[in-house]
Every structure is written in C-alpha cells, then in structure tokens.
Structure 1
Amino acid sequence: MIEKGPRPPHPSQAQGGPLDGAEGHRKRVLAGTVALVTGASAGIGRHLAQGLAERGAAVAGLARSADRLLTAMDEVADATGARTLAVAADVTHPDAVRAAVTQVTAELGPVTLLVNNAGLIDAAEVPLWEADPAQWWQVVESQVRGPFLLAHAVVPGMVAAGGGRVIGLGSGLGTRGSDVYSAYSAGKSAQMRITEGLALAGAAHGVRAFDLAPGVIDTGMTRAMPMHAGRTDWTRPEDVVALAVAIAAGELDQWSGRFLRAGADDVATLRATMPAGTARQLRLQPYGDTDPVG
C-alpha cells in the first residue's frame, strides 16, 4: 500500500480567500466528506477523484497499479489542495480490500462516500460460447465481487456513523442483454441488484445507494472497444462529476436504489423530481394486464 499524506490547505481553501461567497460554497460543498474511489488511477475514476477533491472532499484512491495511482493522487492533491491517499489493492481480494479500508479509515477517517468504479470489460466482442472462460469470469468478478467486498468493508462504518452514500458506476448494458459483451452486461445487472439491496437494507440506517451510468467517456477502455470505433460524440466527464457531487452532497437522496445517467439526466430536474414506484429500477415487464407475474 502506498500512502499520500494530508496536504496543507490550498490557497483557494484558505479562510477569507477569494472563493468566499457562492463560489466558495460550491468549492467546499463536500467539506467533511471522506470519499473512497476505486479504479482512481485513470479514466472515469481519475476524473471523479479530482472532481470530489475540488469540492472539498478528502479522497482515497484505490487501484492495482501502485505507481500510476500514486502519480494520479499526487496530481489531485497538487491541483486541489485536498487530503488524498493512494492505496494499491485488487478489489476482488477480500484481505486486500479490508486492509485498504482500514488504512483509509485510520488516515482520513470513516468513509462517507464509496464510489465503486473499478471494473473490467470483455476482451473481445464475441458470443458467450466463444469467450475465454477465465477472462469472462474475471470481468464478472470485477463488477460484482469487487463492489460487494468494498460495500461489505465500508458500509458497517457508515451504519455506525448514522449514514453514508454508495455509488456504483453503472451502464446501459446492465439494463439490457448484449450479444458480444455478455460478461460486462451480466456484471452490471448484478451490480444494480447490489445497489438496490444496499438501498433497501440501508434506508433505516441513513445509507443510500445509487447506480450512476457515465455514458460513453473518452477513455482508453472505451477507445479499445470496437463498438465505439469512429465515435466522436462522447459524454463529458464533468457531467459524471456533477451527478456524483450532487449525490455526495445529499441532493438526490430520493433517487436511492435507482439508475441515473450522466449526459442525459439534468441535475436540477433530478433534484426537483420524486420518483414513484419502480421508476429507474431493473424490473421484469409484464406482457399485459393479465400476466400472472406482472
């Protein structure tokens, strides 16, 4: 494990500095939040780590690549003045996850925001029966075992503290089947069930959980996917950050247990909307009014 210790306050965070007033409040809206972001060394996780830090959160980044992670968290700390921590660990290894959460809690305090971002995708666009079994299962493990282990290690602390929030990085492929990304689709669907389970069981303890689909961000992973070859229309990273910040700030708690989509959902509209029934939840659709499972 590699630690990045607390930094002195950035000039923009100094009391009486130039960000006093509305802009200062925006920058400090997550002050007191301790965020743990998995897969924080690159891509969406890296954007989220910096976006949360810019709003005043202390951010622990977790990833397998120690050197790249430390560089990323160094950059976040230098750019924002936030307290950061780099913890190298594999999210699918129970002992590594427990040790990582123990270190984060000791160094930064109890985690109040968990962002389950780390995950693999199918190595090739092929039907399930042509996929490599070992790689297929690694993808599912990263999307299911990883979020489970992180929540299992983090949520008891949230319950003890009176609440917290969990964000699972979702995908539209979790809401429907896929002919060539069967592992990723299965994993993301299962992750949605994890989110709903956390929301249902956690409600009485102040724990809320959300699926946040980032759309299609321009990252190394998405550019390597044949289905995105030639794509020029990408979701803006700042749209993903805006939703994550609104969730972390408690502005979208009525959406706990539900699916949100960056680039399509408007934060102001979500704030003003109270979802009813099973809206934005994964459900079996009846074939008609007489369907016995409807």
Structure 2
Amino acid sequence: MPKTALVTGAGRGIGRAIAIRLAAEGFRVGITARSTEQLKEVAATIEAAGGVVAVAPGDATVAENVAEVERTVSAALGPIDLLVNNAGYASAPMPFIEVDPADWWRVVETNVLGPMLFTHAVLPSMLKRGSGHIININSMMGSKLSGASVAYGVSKAGLMRFTDAIAEEVTGTGVALFDLSPGLVRTGMTANRPDLDALPEAAWSKPEATAEKVIELASGDYDALTGRFIKLSDDLGELAGQIDGDMRLLRMQPVPDAGSVAK
C-alpha cells in the first residue's frame, strides 16, 4: 500500500524537490506552505507525472493552521507515514545589535515552533500504528558561531536538541527521527548571503540531492540512526555500521572554512 508523506515549505526550493521526488517514488504527497499559488504549481507538476498529491496551505507557526493541514492531508491521502519539516526562514545577516527583535524571533518561531507543531500533530498516529519517519531539515549553522546569523544558529541548534529529545522519547516505538543538513543550496533563503559571489560552484549542492537523501532515510533501512544529525555527504550504510554505545548522540564535525554551511 502506498505511503503518505507531508512536506512543509513545499512551494519552492528544497521542499519542492523533495515533494516531487517522493511522488515519483510512489508516495502520496501532502504539500503545505503559505503560498497557495506555489503549491498549485508543484501539485500540477506531480500530477502531470502521474503522482498523487493533496494541497493544504497554512502557516507552520500557527497551531490551528497546522492542525488543519494534518486533517486535510490525512483525510485525502491516509495517515501520514513521513513528515519532512522543511519550512524555514533566515533573516538578512547583520550584527545582533542592529536586528529587529521581532524578525529575530520570527526566525526561531519558523525553524523551531513549526517543526514542533507538525511533529506534535502527526506523532500520535505514528505511535498508534507503530511506524513513521520524521526528517527535520537542519543546518551545520547550529554548531557554528556566526555573529551575522545569531537567530538562525540558535534556531537550528534548538531543532537539533528537539530531534534528539523526541527520538529518545519514542525509542522502541517504530518511529525514527533525523536531522538532515543539505549543505549550501541556491534558494531564496541563501540569496542574501554576503559571500554569495565569492563561493565556488563546488560549494553548492542541488535540491535534488537532498531529496535523494530523504528517500534513503524514509526507506527504513537506517532507522538505527534515529536521532542523528545527517549530512548530505554521509554514507548511511557506513554510519549504521559504526554505531557503538549510545547511537543517538549527535554526530557533529568541525565545519570547513570553504563556506559549505547553509540551510
């Protein structure tokens, strides 16, 4: 029986690529974002290729919107087997003292509150059925000091701890959670980087590469890695073979100087 996936922030960029790839893999895909027009374009692309999709616009930071998205997708496609928390926000880099506090908090709300609300909405059904996957799109910025992106770093560090904590809480239930870092991707979110023109082409990864990693993690073959921070370059089979002791510890490596950190 086909599985159901829900992808947040699916109107463009990484979320769009993930939704299209999941549909091609045979998932019934629920897509959500604030822009209805963008979602309609993604849905048309999926349907043209023979995929099954449900459009459910909503704001990831509003509990009532999230609950309605979950109800809409579940009613149209069945219980959600895979949640990809991709919706994110990054404000323009600037010194902390120059930041608008409201915009600073919007970053944290989008990147932490959003995944929390969607996870809270889908997790009960997953636990009841004894299976499910939740993939939080994260960033190495959560482990790297950056005075120009304080809110983003704080939000991604918080998301890491959230993934780790919930994975621990649901150990043995058949539900697995992962942090996935796509690296540096050309999206609207990275367009305001001050070093944009200085970065070599090799520093960038494609949205489709992240989509492929999502397929791997959703396969169930690597559930032993639950709670782990996964980089796009990681060989999942190799990682799974290295598990020793507490397999839920975050796997964070020093960040290279080549500008390979982003969403």
Match of 1:131 among 86, 99, 103: 99
Q: Is the 8 A contact 2:230 2:251 kept in 1?
A: no
Q: Is the 8 A contact 2:164 2:248 kept in 1?
A: no
Name structure 1 gaps, 5 residues minimum.
1-30, 284-294
Matched, 1:221 2:213: no
AA matched with 2:211: V
Q: Once the two structures are superposed, what CA deviation does each residue of 1:214-269 show, in whole Å capped at 9, x if it has no partner?
A: 0111222213322333332211333212211111110111111010011x212443
Matches within 5 A, 1:130-169: 130-169=98-137
Matches within 5 A, 1:233-248: 233=202, 234-248=204-218
AA matched with 1:225: R
Q: Is the 8 A contact 2:88 2:111 kept in 1?
A: yes
Shift of 1:193: 1.1
Aligned-residue CA RMSD (Å): 1.8
Q: Is the 8 A contact 1:242 1:267 kept in 2?
A: no
Match of 1:108 in 2: 77
AA matched with 1:58: R
Match of 1:99 in 2: 68
SS state at 1:59 partner: strand
Match of 1:120 among 86, 89, 97: 89
SS state at 1:204 partner: coil
Matches within 5 A, 1:281-292: 281=250
Shift of 1:103: 0.8
AA matched with 1:235: S
SS state at 2:69 partner: helix
Separation in structure 1 between the aligned mates of residue 109 and residue 121 of structure 2, nearest angstrom: 17
Name structure 2 gaps, 5 residues minimum.
253-263
* Higher-Rg member (1/2): 1
Shift of 1:277: 3.3
SS state at 2:170 partner: helix
Q: Once the two structures are superposed, what CA deviation does each residue of 1:26-55 show, in whole Å capped at 9, x if it has no partner?
A: xxxxx6221000000000000100111111
SS state at 1:95 partner: helix
AA matched with 2:238: T
Matches within 5 A, 1:233-272: 233=202, 234-262=204-232, 264-270=233-239, 272=241
Q: Is the 8 A contact 2:107 2:155 kept in 1?
A: yes
Shift of 1:201: 1.1
Identity %: 37
- TM-score normalised according to structure 2 size: 0.90
Match of 1:185 in 2: 153
Separation in structure 2 between the aligned mates of residue 35 and residue 253 of structure 1, nearest angstrom: 17
Large movers: runs of 4+ above 2 Å:
227-231, 236-239, 266-280
Q: Which has the higher contact order (CA 8 A, sep 6+)?
A: 2
1:106/1:91 CA distance change after superposition, 3 Å: same
Matched, 1:88 2:57: yes
- TM-score normalised according to structure 1 size: 0.80
AA matched with 1:142: T
Separation in structure 2 between the aligned mates of residue 187 and residue 224 of structure 1, nearest angstrom: 18
AA matched with 2:186: D
Q: Is the 8 A contact 2:20 2:42 kept in 1?
A: no
AA matched with 1:145: L
Separation in structure 2 between the aligned mates of residue 138 and residue 64 of structure 1, nearest angstrom: 15
Q: Once the two structures are superposed, what CA deviation does each residue of 1:87-141 show, in whole Å capped at 9, x if it has no partner?
A: 1100000001001101111100010100000010022x21222211111000000
Q: How many residues align?
A: 250
